[in-house]
Amino acid sequence: MKKSKKKLLVTGGAGFIGSNTALYFSKHGWNIHIIDNLSRKGSKDNLLNLKKNIDVNFYKIDTSNFSKISKVIKKIKPKLLIHCAGQVTVTKSVTNPRNDFNSNAIGTFNILEAIRLFSNKTKFINISTNKVYGNVSNKKVFQGKNRYGFAGKMKSINENYPLDLYSPYGCSKGIADQYTRDYSRIYDLDTVVVRLSCIYGTMQYGIEDHGWIVWLTIKSYFGKKIKIFGDGKQVRDALYIDDLVKLFLKLSKSKKNKNKIYNIGGGIKNSMSLLELIEILDKKMNKKNKFKKFNWRPGDQKIYISDISKIKKEHHWSPKINVHQGLDKVINWIHKNELNIKKLLKP
């Protein structure tokens, strides 16, 4: 008898992380199901790309609709559910906090409830964010020429750093983060929370509010002036998407990560500031990029770098693609998709 394929359900499966995850798991023999409401720019293009390259079962659903989301989960009973759907920007959460709450808090709660009631053997990976740590105000920061840095011995943020749910986005994602953890404790669900730093790569239709690495690379490629909010010395650690989806597959096979939380990013070696990224792009594009500074955005961290020592120790995972290699891949992708990406630059 032929062994049936393992089923993966990806919410936000037509988004950047979701579509890359679907492609990668399909290549490893999984049966792919995705849920997406197709509300974000680029999601329809990503869905078309998925349908051209893999067998995919698509459901146009918003996760805030419990009736519809629960029917799909009850029907599929996936071995693994990776929850990538949600409102993803601080700025939009400030202008429309109700939509942010419905998307991130209620959406995640609905999925957890559906798993609890109809598919309690499903492993659940929740995509969280470094924003649950707020502006990292407990850490002393020094200001260098082109970047901020952490003062003292601790140069990165680990999972024991106190939560500080700053901004509506931080609050809604923090609620989802903690509900995921507690559903494992109370209802014995197999859950993992991954608190991501900056993820970048191909199929990321970056916008000004989110996906800053790819957005600045797109602006540079097309010779457009770059906007910087704040002084440009803000630092993040960057992780290329291929390294993240490989981690998802590793977590799917592990039985020792139940009710675990991990900080995931590129780590100290792959950290950079906005100004440093522009300098790198100057060299790669062989041009001097023009930029203009604007006021700081609410809740913006001067510096955030993931301490990835826990995931390294427990799952023997670490980033393989450095920033320069990753940016070369992004530039090549932009070159191949110029017409579609140009649409993003239109008002």
User: How many Cα neighbours within 13 Å face the side chain of 150?
Assistant: 20
Tokens coding 61: 């659903």
Is residue 169 among the annotated active site residues? yes
Instruction: Please state the three-class secondary structure of the chain as a single string.
Output: CCCCCCEEEEECCCCHHHHHHHHHHHHCCCEEEEEECCCCCCHHHHHHHHHHHCCEEEEECCCCCHHHHHHHHHHHCCCEEEECCCCCCHHHHHHCHHHHHHHHHHHHHHHHHHHHHHCCCCEEEEEEEHHHHCCCCCCCEEECCCCEEECCCCCCECCCCCCCCCHHHHHHHHHHHHHHHHHHHHHCCEEEEEEECEEECCCCCCECCECHHHHHHHHHHCCCCEEEECCCCCEEEEEEHHHHHHHHHHHHHCCCCCCEEEEECCCHHHEEEHHHHHHHHHHHHCCCCCEEEECCCCCCCCEECECCHHHHHHHCCCCCCCHHHHHHHHHHHHHHCHHHHHHHHCC
> Taking the chain, what is the end-to-end CA distance rounded to the nearest angstrom?
56
Determine contact, residues 246/201, Cβ cutoff 8 Å.
no
Rg (CA), the chain: 19
Residues ≥6 apart with Cβ < 8 Å to 47: 14, 19, 34, 36, 38, 58
The catalytically annotated residue of 133, 166, 169, 183 is 169
Give me the active site residues, please: 169
